[in-house]
Amino acid sequence: MTDVFLNENFIGTVDNAKEFIKQIRSERRKGVLNYELNFYWDEDYNEVYLDITRGRTRRPLIVVENGKSKLTDNYIEEAKNGTLKWDKLVKEGVIEYIDAAEEENCYVALDEKDLTKEHTHLEISPVVILGLCTSLIPYSNFGSSSRLIRGSKIQKQSLGLYASNYLLRMDTDVNVLHYPQKPITKTFMHDIYGWEKHPSGQNVVIALMSFEGYNMEDALIVSKASVDRGFARSTYFKPFNAEELRYQGGLVDEVCIPDKEVKGYRSEKDYRLLEEDGVVYTGAKVKGDDVVIGRVSPPRFLGEFEEFNIATNVKRESSIALSHKDNGIVDMSLITESEEGNRLVQMRLRQQRIPEVGDKFASRHGQKGVISYLVPLADMPFTVSGIVPDVLFNPHGIPSRMTISHLIEIIAGKVGSLTGKYIDGTSFDVMPEKELRKMLKELGFRESGLETMYNGISGQQFKAKIYIGDMYYLKLKYMVAGKLHSRATGKIQLLTRQPIEGRSQGGGLRIGEMEKDCFVAHGASLLLKERFDSDKTNVFVCENCGMLGIYDNFKHNEYCTKCGANVKISVVEMSYAFKLLLDELKSLGVYPKLELGRKY
């Protein structure tokens, strides 16, 4: 007697669960039952679960019957001819989709030659153990799983040739790496994926050593000479666009150089780069506040006409300008039509990004870090054969993270660059480490990968032998140029009089809840007050009723609207935010009475 559940609801019992399962399985394969149905027999609890709800993750497997794969040679022949359809395989019960619960009842063979009578399914390919991004990591079977996850995430952030028609595109926030390379140590996935058509990364000579303490905590030391020769340079593209919108009453925007009569006219200097059609010329060097597309709009309200008593067209300036801190070169501009059929002017800004201190880099093994120092070539350490590394990586990053794959890639890259061949680093397969070391020895190097190196500053030989080789490095999209920010004073919010937020608008850096706690814990309460008084204000408080009083600037006297002028009114310094709170309470009908005491 076995309980049966459909979609988690009890529907009845069956006497022989094994037979029951066998029957519905064969009916599903025949197509009598929907192929989306999955079932699971829990022998311990003696319960059968049928499930056809949505939201279950399912994966395809080849059906095995009596130790034989149902994907016969006929199908394979058909597939080679290109006539086979996936749907056919599913319909004919060759492939079935299994969900997480049904997997518990399955016995899946990884390879066709491992098949026995007990097996129920066969993996379509052993490759599916790893996803696309993880398959791109060479020697990943030598790394720890958490680092592989990080490694696959990092590859998505790397700069490369994201699309070969990038010059014709208007993408937001994209980067293109100059001189991207194919990795020396590659995997099968690089070939399948067509990596050489859009690579993202460069091969570098890397040495595992510290240097004057600059590469503490995952920091990276890069040779200035490598950077000067073009290592990890990239271009950043940013589009700007202006549409000629249509308004009620047949009014329309106009892209042009704004007339001086226009309301909100900037200075003549700001429009200097515009050509007659109101669009900046290609190749112009633009910076700070420069207008790139000039535009005028009709007045926002018709009432605005009367304001100046000029009945003719007083138009509003609505040009597109660079933000205060931006700069770059105008890469391209074009005139087209928007989806609504309006005239649309687009402009693309280009910025060259040369690696600088603080830019983020990573290897493919989840080892990320930022540049901490660009060393002049003369100071870089060098090997006996005169090789100067491009990157110095801190060896302390290895033991705790156990990324052995990182180390093996260095040897593989070294062998590859010395022999002029690509090394296959596919996981669980091909080119064993032993073979690499043997080849390294034959090439006249130490099989351990270590080399004698010399201090570039003093010329002395290092006591330790240094692990040096080649590996594929990725420049990640997080660059200092897009993050650097500071402010002394600037824009404030209209409502609270506190500094605005956000780098793009020149906002302040927040002293948050926890930062405040730090001041308190140190007992620095006067410093805390000073740090928080960006919105301080002086208000007049009536000591009689505890409400805010008024100061008359003409008569130079103060009075309370409720109690009159014959009461004591004191000046109190408080945050504007609190004054606002008091006002809001009053608007709710709450009487917030202030009781004043002596400060000293």
Binding-site ranges for Zn ion (CB under 5 A):
542, 544-545, 560, 562-563
Part in contact with another protein (CB under 8 A); list of ranges 2-10, 97-105, 234-242, 337-345: 2-10
Nearest distance in Å: CB 154, another protein: 23
Q: Is 218 a catalytic residue?
A: yes
Q: Which is nearer to another protein, 134 or 575 (CB)?
A: 575
Of the candidates 3, 42, 218, 277, the residue annotated as catalytic is 218
387 binds, among Zn ion, another protein, none (CB under 5 to 8 A by kind): none
Q: Which is nearer to Zn ion, 471 or 548 (CB)?
A: 548
287 binds, among another protein, Zn ion, none (CB under 5 to 8 A by kind): none
Cα dihedral 150/409/234/389 (nearest 10): 130
Radius of gyration of the chain (CA): 35
Would you state the structure tokens that stand for residue 95, as one six-digit string? 């492939």
Nearest to 160 by CA among 62, 232, 89: 232
Instruction: Give alpha helix (H) positions in 312-430.
Output: 404-419
What minimum distance in Å lies between the beta carbon of 560 and Zn ion? 3
> Is the CB of 435 or the CB of 517 nearer to another protein?
517
Q: What does 91 interact with, of another protein, Zn ion, none (CB < 5 to 8 A by kind)?
A: none
Measured distance CA(456)–CA(462) in Å, rounded? 10
What are 471's strand-pairing partners? 204
Q: Which is nearer to another protein, 1 or 311 (CB)?
A: 1
Q: Quick one: what does residue 263 bind among Zn ion, another protein, none, with the CB cut-off 5 to 8 Å set by partner type?
A: none
Q: Which does 585 bind (CB under 5 to 8 A by kind): another protein, Zn ion, none?
A: another protein
Could you give the CA distance from residue 487 to residue 508 in angstroms, rounded to a whole number? 6
> CB of residue 552 vs Zn ion: minimum separation in angstroms?
15
Which of the choices another protein, Zn ion, none does residue 560 contact, using the CB cut-off of 5 to 8 A by kind? Zn ion
Dihedral angle of Cα 131, 136, 138, 139, to the nearest 10 degrees? 0
The closest of 600, 596, 527 to 567, measured between CA atoms, is 596
Q: Least distance (Å) from another protein to the CB of residue 11?
A: 8
Measured at the alpha carbon of residue 506, what is the angle toward residues 504 and 509, in degrees to the nearest 5?
105
Q: What angle do CA 370, 188, 201 make, to 5 degrees?
A: 25
Residues in contact with 125: Cβ distance below 8 Å, sequence separation at least 6, in sequence order = none
Specify burial of residue 445 (Cβ count, 10 A radius: 0-12, 13-18, 19+).
Answer: buried
Residues 6+ apart with CB under 8 A from 75: 84, 89, 94
Beta strands (DSSP E) in 228-359 are 234-243, 254-255, 285-287, 291-293, 295-297, 316-317, 320-321, 327-337, 343-353
Residue 581's binding partner among Zn ion, another protein, none (Cβ under 5 to 8 angstroms by kind) is another protein
Separate counts of helices (H) and strands (E) for the chain:
14, 34
Query: Which of Zn ion, another protein, none interacts with 574 (beta carbon under 5 to 8 A by kind)?
Result: another protein
N-to-C CA span, the chain:
86
Strand ranges (E), 483-552: 536-542, 550-552
| Among residues 573, 583, 586, 596, the one that binds another protein under rule CB under 8 A | 573
Stretch that binds another protein, among 397-405, 450-458, 555-563, 570-578 (CB under 8 A): 570-578
In the complex, minimum distance from the CB of residue 2 to another protein, in angstroms, rounded to a whole number: 11
**Partner from another protein, Zn ion, none binding residue 66, C-beta < 5-8 Å depending on class:** none
Which of 353, 362, 395, 392 is CA-nearest to residue 375?
A: 392
Q: How far is the CB of 327 from another protein (least distance, A)?
A: 38
Which of these, 158, 143, 114, 125, lies nearest to 425 by C-alpha position? 143
Given Zn ion, another protein, none, residue 505, with its beta carbon under 5 to 8 Å by kind, binds none
Shortest gap between Cβ of 544 and Zn ion (angstroms)?
Answer: 4
- Residue in 110, 163, 585, 596 binding another protein, rule: CB under 8 A: 585
Q: Total number of residues binding another protein (CB under 8 A)?
A: 35
CB 575 within 8 Å of CB 583: no
Query: How far, in Å, CA of 235 to CA of 161, rounded?
Result: 11
Closer residue to Zn ion, CB minimum distance, 279 or 548: 548
**Of 9 and 248, which has the nearer Cβ to another protein?**
9
What does the block give as tokens for 493? Answer: 């919010």
Query: Tokens 């007697």 — which residue?
Result: 1
Amino acid sitting at position 140:
S
Q: At its nearest, how many Å lie between Zn ion and the CB of residue 536?
A: 23
Nearer to another protein, 125 or 525 (CB): 525
Q: Smaller CB distance to Zn ion: residue 156 or 562?
A: 562
**Least Cβ distance, residue 511 to another protein (angstroms):** 10
Residue whose C-alpha is closest to residue 403's, from 133, 131, 142: 142
Contacts of another protein in 486-545 (CB under 8 A): 516-518, 520-529, 532-533, 535-536
> Which one, 171 or 573, has the nearer CB to another protein?
573
CB of 505 to Zn ion, least distance (A): 40
How far, in Å, CA of 175 to CA of 90, rounded? 42
Percent helix / strand / coil, the chain, rounded to 5: 25, 30, 45
Distance CA 173, CA 238 (A): 6
Q: Which C-beta is closer to another protein: that of 402 or that of 518?
A: 518
What is the amino acid identity at position 427? S
Interface with another protein, residue 13, by CB under 8 A: yes
Q: Which amino acid would we find at residue 118?
A: E
Q: Which residues bind another protein (CB under 8 A)?
A: 1, 3, 9-13, 516-518, 520-529, 532-533, 535-536, 573-575, 577-578, 581, 585, 590, 595, 598, 600
The residues assigned a catalytic role are: 218
